């Protein structure tokens, strides 16, 4: 089965058209069993009423309704948990993602990939969104090693195994390919057709860029140091301790040779502060290691691609489910 997870917020005007386009592609390509899973993220318009009508006319339509707006990451998480398919698509409900690209996603996925992300090379968005987005994408690719042209594109397809291992919260939904890449999954992209928005307005403003930078730091930490926090916190602490220690040793030498009092020197305050802050960072790293050792699960430390079971002989048990 293939699941199409569509988070929506105040997209009542576009859902009928989106459902028609999805159904047309699914039926023309004979994709077999599918489900269309809409997640209403606390819409204030008639989005839920439209979904109810679609579900009454098409048994493939399933839906979840939030009590209020919890954000796209929460909507996707609810969708991933409810989706039944071995292959899961995500796309936005504003009609800017073209369902006609679905067969190309599946072709790319069949080339041995676990995640395929869309790349909106030509975007029908204002310049003040396109420019910062390209800079942001370049930063993400450089810092994480997951080199995609468009990390923000909501049009993606995943194998079930990816979603079973990668958890998202906050605003980390745009970094699922990055988190999957960090666990060894194979990530690729295809260029997709991006369409102008027909109804409503964009839900994202200038603050999204600032939040994205903070989320990038979070992802950087999660992918590099989530299992060894002492390496980053303790490392920072040791650097500060070293700098503060050098300052204190210098002041002690000055005092020993009788080159005047040292109590009034600013260096004494700076060096003492560095030693104090460095000690706190080091202790914090040790506490983080203790928390990690108690909370981490064994399966969080690795990701299995294939297995040969001793009970069944040489037959391989694939973790990749066929489409």
CATH topology of domain 2-225: Spore Coat Polysaccharide Biosynthesis Protein SpsA; Chain A (3.90.550)
pLDDT at 206: 57
Does 322 score more than 50 pLDDT? no
Tokens 């109810």 sit on residue: 52
Q: What is the mean pLDDT of residues 46-53?
A: 92
What is the rounded average pLDDT for all residues in the chain? Answer: 83
Residue 82 has pLDDT above 70, yes or no: yes
CA nearest neighbour of 101 among 87, 88, 89: 89
pLDDT, tens only, 93-128: 888 889 999 999 999 999 999 999 998 887 766 666
Tens digits of residue pLDDT in 192-209? 888 777 666 655 555 666
pLDDT at 279 over 90: yes
Distance CA 192, CA 316 (A): 35
User: What does the pLDDT read at residue 311?
Assistant: 59
Q: What is the dihedral of CA 74, 159, 96, 212, to 10 degrees?
A: 50
> How much is the average pLDDT of 6-16?
91
pLDDT in tens, 154-197: 899 999 989 888 877 766 778 888 888 888 899 999 998 887 77
172 within 8 A of 218, measured Cβ to Cβ: yes
pLDDT at 315: 45
Query: Residue range 136-149: average pLDDT?
Result: 84
Q: Which residues of 283-307 are buried (b: 16+ CB within 10 A; e: fewer)?
A: ebbeebbeebeeeeeeeeeebeeee
Q: What pLDDT, on a 0 to 100 scale, did the predictor assign at position 275?
A: 94
Cut 0.75: pTM above it: no
Average pLDDT of span 200-223: 68
CA distance 36 to 133: 29
Check residue 32 and give its pLDDT: 87
């Amino acid at each position: 089965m293939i699941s199409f997870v569509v988070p929506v917020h105040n997209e009542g005007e576009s859902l009928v058209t989106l459902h028609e386009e999805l159904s047309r592609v699914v039926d023309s390509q004979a994709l077999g069993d599918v489900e269309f899973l809409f997640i209403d993220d606390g819409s204030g318009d008639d989005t839920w009423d439209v979904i109810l009508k679609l579900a009454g006319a098409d048994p493939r339509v399933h839906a979840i309704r939030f009590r209020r707006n919890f954000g796209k990451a929460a909507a996707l998480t609810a969708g991933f948990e409810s989706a039944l398919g071995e292959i899961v698509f995500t796309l936005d409900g504003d009609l800017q993602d073209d369902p006609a690209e679905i067969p190309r996603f599946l072709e790319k996925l069949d080339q041995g990939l676990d995640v395929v992300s869309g790349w909106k090379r030509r975007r029908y968005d204002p310049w003040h969104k396109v420019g910062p987005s390209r800079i942001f994408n370049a930063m993400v690719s450089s810092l994480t090693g997951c080199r995609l042209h468009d990390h923000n594109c909501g049009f993606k397809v995943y194998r079930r195994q990816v979603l079973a291992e990668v958890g998202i919260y906050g605003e980390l939904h745009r970094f699922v390919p990055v988190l999957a890449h960090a666990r060894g999954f194979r990530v690729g992209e295809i260029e997709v057709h991006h369409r102008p928005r027909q109804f409503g307005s964009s839900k994202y403003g200038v603050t999204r860029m600032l939040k994205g930078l903070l989320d990038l730091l979070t992802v950087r930490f999660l992918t590099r140091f989530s299992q060894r926090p002492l390496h980053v916190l303790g490392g920072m602490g040791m650097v500060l301790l070293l700098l503060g220690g050098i300052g204190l040793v210098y002041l002690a030498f000055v005092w020993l040779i009788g080159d005047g009092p040292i109590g009034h020197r600013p260096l004494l305050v700076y060096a003492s502060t560095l030693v104090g802050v460095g000690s706190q960072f080091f202790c914090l790293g040790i506490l983080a290691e203790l928390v990690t050792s108690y909370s981490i699960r064994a399966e969080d430390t690795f990701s299995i691609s294939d297995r040969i079971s001793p009970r069944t002989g040489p037959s391989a048990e694939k973790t990749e489910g066929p489409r």
